[in-house]
Structure 1
């Protein structure tokens, strides 16, 4: 029996409301050291406004949050090891409304093809951040160096610098880009397309498969790899099967942020029951017949349990799905720390690229 006074029968803040990501004994100490260096190892700040605030105030808040996250992600990417042997190209296509959609293509040099193609969708709650950010650029380079063609899509966000474009604008852009990639696999050097994304990008990745099934083009997606999906959509009455929203609240992310981001993406909750907006709303009939999935979640993430719930839904529907929990990590922690947690980062690269190769 443990004599450690910090260990409770209930994990995280369920057992001790004063725990932080910096003091939780489950936390990877290397991750804690990075957070401490930035002064964010304590309780995460709550949102200063609620989802019912005027839209202009919501958009202004998202713009401020985006600056903070982009600054942190840029700093985290600064010490990442250089990636050699990858060619990069920017392709611009036209969306249905006549707007531009930028596709960032990364290919390994000197590798015989065709290769699996990873269609990468960045995170940010569907309302902020950018494919062109240094952390996501490094992630795509590492995936490409491991022997895949990687295409990062720059879609219209619900808010921030690339907003304001509520649902379904971003999803439509992702679908347009994905279908273009599938139609041009030969010239890209790809064999098949696997959609992958983290957080809000995982929402969009799962939603793309649901949208593709609904519209009859699901065969263009060979698989989906979703990391730390943000898919619930409503936090007024947290489901009992999602205890991580209480257990890990204020661990780098404050749960009060989620309904604010959701109000920007889906104003007035108009699409709360639409699985292509909030995949947690999906039922067995929505997911039956989908291509293979991999769902990864992190132990210290408030969003952990919604990803696990979606994995279990896929299994109930007879869809091939692999679930994985990364111990000791925060939300999307496997891709945040390429320098401080190189072994964790390398394992994530192997997992994503290995999943893609397994579907050839």
Structure 2
């Protein structure tokens, strides 16, 4: 029987076909932790630790083969993604480098090698035959890379991908198949011969280390991946100017965790989030004191009708003296994790003014935060406000002088930009959106995942933990945005879980991430998913900065700020048609 990805509740949950299914996902995470610890994954002990009977566990995850397939695939994905991201060169050379890096990292994986040695027959059956669909998935991943390259292939893409998969298997499992040592270097020679290109130089040694000489220590992993005591202040990659600006506000050390976790009583969490709102508003006001106001932009105030009778304020900015002109349009959605920060504070207003001064009409939507001083309006209230304001703006484009509409936002605002686009596709309104510019997107909701899961799937959540943002604090925000957790894998709440099918047909996107942001890798993952869906997508990485610094700290990193504003303006102009 083939262990089909669609055969179990776990498979549906992992592929986001089910919005949330906590039992199967909890079982999966426990099984993965067990596997990573080098311990055999057995159904009986697993069921006992979960507090369920074996029948329930089998209903959740299928049989042991199916569960092991999902666990090993969950480790393949970030390993392959990292290999592709780090691969050097172009065309066939880049493909060979990615395959070589991947082969090397798999051969060096302790938990994986432990599993192969403990259960060689089962491993070969699950990983190299049609007894499970692991091999099909690997071949599909290789095919995506081939299709995106300009390599001249000896066979059609599917056939070439299959041959490369079999080559990889031959060397990764060489000890099981032929009693030989796994040898990534030999695999590289065969990859290069098949794709008719030179053998690339050996990539750095596994795990992100670079050996300098035989008698010197290796360079450690970056950030807190290599040093749990690291801070932004001590990170050699940090932008010196931003480090100094953060120090003035006492923010160059680790961001403080919350006093409790997401399981605390709702009223306690709401009170905490309201305090966080006030603290961040105070910080933004202090930062804004360093900046001058501009008088070359005018603002008008409007109201869009909401679907639940709620009136949504919309503020429109345009260059002074441009009344009557039709200009490219941007709809700005502010950050704050969809739960905190005011739309019309000085920093958000300044951002809109600076964009408008480049020759744009900029509308910002005062959507409902999930938490306010007087109310709790969880998902999807704020998203619906954004969607309804977008509908109103599209209907009034002529009167507002907007030639087109590009959605733009940072952090939680980027979440709402991406979710609004997904919702517009579902509701048949996608034509209103010319493009999306998502900065430092806050889109996974995975801030309370265990460390093993973070390291395997989104390692920047560990690498840059506490650099301006604390992931445990974000986990509390998540629990107020979606109090029941029922939307934990709903792409409208957390666009990270959008499928390729969800994204097919989307307008052009730019996804901009910051190197030292805990959220960096979820933005990169979304960009890659857009690419897989055939969307015209551009990725942008800002080095040395932590979360949102290129829009918040204008004075400290003025050149980066100006470059970001100019890039958004260029993108909007390119789509104004």
Instruction: Establish whether residue 28 from structure 1 lines up as the match of residue 239 from structure 2.
Output: yes
Counterpart in 1 of 2:399? Answer: 187
Distance in 1 between residues matched to 2:517 and 2:354, nearest whole Å: 24
Matching residue of 1:81: 292
Does the 8 A contact of 1:8 with 1:15 survive in 2? no
Pick from 253, 271, 281: which aligns with 1:60?
A: 271
Matched, 1:341 2:557: yes
**CA deviation string 1:290-314 (max 9, x = no partner):** 1010000001100000000000000
The Cα offsets for residues 55-100 of structure 1, whole Å up to 9 and x where unpaired, read as 1111001001111111111111111233231111111233222222
Could you say which residue in structure 2 is the equivalent of 1:292?
Answer: 508
2:305 and 2:392 in contact (8 A); partners too: no
Is the aligned partner of 1:218 residue 2:430? yes
Cα offset, 1:249, TM superposition: 0.2
TM-score (structure 2 length as normaliser): 0.60
Q: Aligned match of 2:449 in 228, 236, 258?
A: 236
RMSD over equivalenced CA pairs, Å = 1.7
Listed one character per residue, the Cα deviations across residues 210-233 of structure 1 (whole Å, up to 9, x for unaligned) are: 000111110110000000011112
Q: What residue is the counterpart of 1:47 in the other structure? A: 258
CA distance in 1, matches of 2:391, 2:321: 27
Corresponding residue for residue 358 of structure 1: 574
1:47 positional shift: 1.3
Q: Residue 87 of structure 1: SS of its match in structure 2?
A: strand
Mapped partners of 1:121, 1:49: distance in 2: 29
Whichever of the two has the greater Rg, that structure is 2
- Matches of 2:351 and 2:392 in 1, distance apart? 22
Check 1:30–1:318 CA distance in 2 against 1; reply closer, same or farther (3 A cut): same
Structure 2, unaligned stretches of length 5 or more?
Answer: 1-210
Q: Is the 8 A contact 2:406 2:437 kept in 1?
A: yes
Q: Which moved more, 1:311-320 or 1:94-103?
A: 94-103
Partner of 1:128: 340
Shift in Å at residue 162 of structure 1? 7.0
The Cα shift of 1:329 comes to 0.4
Q: TM-score, normalised by structure 1?
A: 0.96
Displacement of 1:161 in angstroms is: 3.3
- Higher percent of residues as helix: 2
Distance (Å, rounded) in 2 between the aligned partners of 1:294 and 1:165: 29
Structure 2 Cα separation of the partners of residues 103 and 217 of structure 1:
19
